[in-house]
Amino acid sequence: MAEKLLLLDDLDEPDAKAISHVEQVLLQLDSFDPTLEHSRYPIRNDGSETLASLPRVRLRRFHESMERVAHFLDACDIKLREGINTRAEIEEAFRCGYEYE
């Protein structure tokens, strides 16, 4: 939990809302299929149907929600990569600036 709080410390309100939305979607998916097996296999080993208790899924809404989650995660990936690259460039610049020939 401490790691999550550190990541959220410098976020503004829109970022916090986006994280809350992503978290809600992922928690809802986890409640339907915590092992991620039922969404992949329509029949269990005992012959019963998987996700039989799942209410009707509105595919368009599901697709739009998953698209938003994917875009959010892509944006996080880009931000992290840029931060890593920027740090590497700064460290390289300092190394080059302090090397004596």
Q: Do 25 and 33 meet the contact criterion of CB atoms below 8 Å apart? A: no
Half-sphere exposure of 68 (CA within 13 A, CB side): 16
Question: What pTM, to 2 d.p., does this model score?
Answer: 0.66
pLDDT in tens, the chain (101 residues): 445 544 555 556 677 788 888 999 999 989 888 888 888 888 888 888 888 877 788 899 999 999 999 998 998 899 889 989 999 999 988 888 766 55
**Alpha-carbon gap, residue 90 to 5, rounded angstroms:** 27
